[in-house]
Amino acid sequence: MTARDARTSDGRRPHVLVIDDAPELLDLYLELLESEGYRVTTSPATLTVDDICAIAPDTIVHDLLFTDDAVDGVWQVLSRTRLDPRLAPVPLIVSTADSRVVNDDDLAVRLETLAVPVILKPFAIDNLLNVLQYALEQTEPCATSHANPSHPHLRDGGGPVADWCAS
């Protein structure tokens, strides 16, 4: 199945929310993904949970250059999206130019456990499309069924999200 053939369970074209602080990348995402048949909403700033819910994306591509520490940024994004029951089932793709996110073995294992793919910038267009298609085919992110909202590190937006997925 190609992106042009992709449909949600109710027959719609998949809706991708892209959050990135670089306007030129937002333009690239928009042009590329729309040409592949996706509906696309872009934002140059981090959105609130309610704003994301109002947009109702089928998947989220979130850049991590909004914080000085991209590793903490991963946990903040995951906490916001995975602890809210409205967003927990929405696949999340992390996009970053900070190679520490993929070079940190512990972080890489945690993200893999949570089924959160990372696209390292600069990325190959085919890689982005493959990761996006894979994310949309997943029916239930690991964190959806294993989230522990009472975990003290999750309430403040940091800490070991790997605790969400014990299996």
Q: How far apart are alpha carbons 167 and 160 in whole angstroms?
A: 15
Residue 30 CA to residue 41 CA, distance in Å, equals 8
Residues 98, 74: contact at Cβ < 8 Å? no
What's the total number of domains in the chain?
1
35-84 pLDDT, tens digit per residue, is 999 999 999 988 888 999 999 999 999 887 645 555 566 677 777 787 88
Query: Letter for the amino acid at 118?
Result: V
pLDDT attached to residue 148:
37
Is there a domain that residue 118 lies in?
Answer: yes
On whether residue 142 sits in a domain, the answer given is: no
Dist. CA 110–CA 165, nearest whole Å: 9
What is the residue range of 105's domain? 12-137
4 within a domain of the structure (yes/no):
no
- Does 167 have pLDDT greater than 50? no
SS3 label, residue 120? strand
In a domain, 34, yes or no: yes
Residue 46 lies inside a defined structural domain of this protein: yes
Q: Which residue has the higher pLDDT, 142 or 138?
A: 138
Q: Phi and psi for 79 in degrees, rounded to 5?
A: -60, -45
Contacts of 150 (CB under 8 A, 6+ apart): none
146 assigned to some structural domain: no
Tell me how long the chain is.
Answer: 167
Per-residue pLDDT, 105: 81
CATH number of the domain within which 73 lies? 3.40.50.2300
| pLDDT computed for residue 67 by the predictor | 53
8: closest CA among 56, 63, 77? Answer: 56
Per residue in 72-126, pLDDT tens?
A: 666 777 777 878 889 888 999 988 887 776 677 877 777 777 778 888 888 888 9
Q: Is position 105 within any domain? A: yes
Q: CA 19 to CA 21: how far, in whole Å? A: 7
**Within a domain: 42:** yes
- H or E, element range at 144: helix 142-146
Looking at residue 73, what is its pLDDT?
Answer: 62
Residue 97 Cα to chain centre, angstroms: 15
User: Tell me: the pLDDT tens digits for 6-42?
Assistant: 666 677 899 999 999 899 999 999 999 999 999 999 9
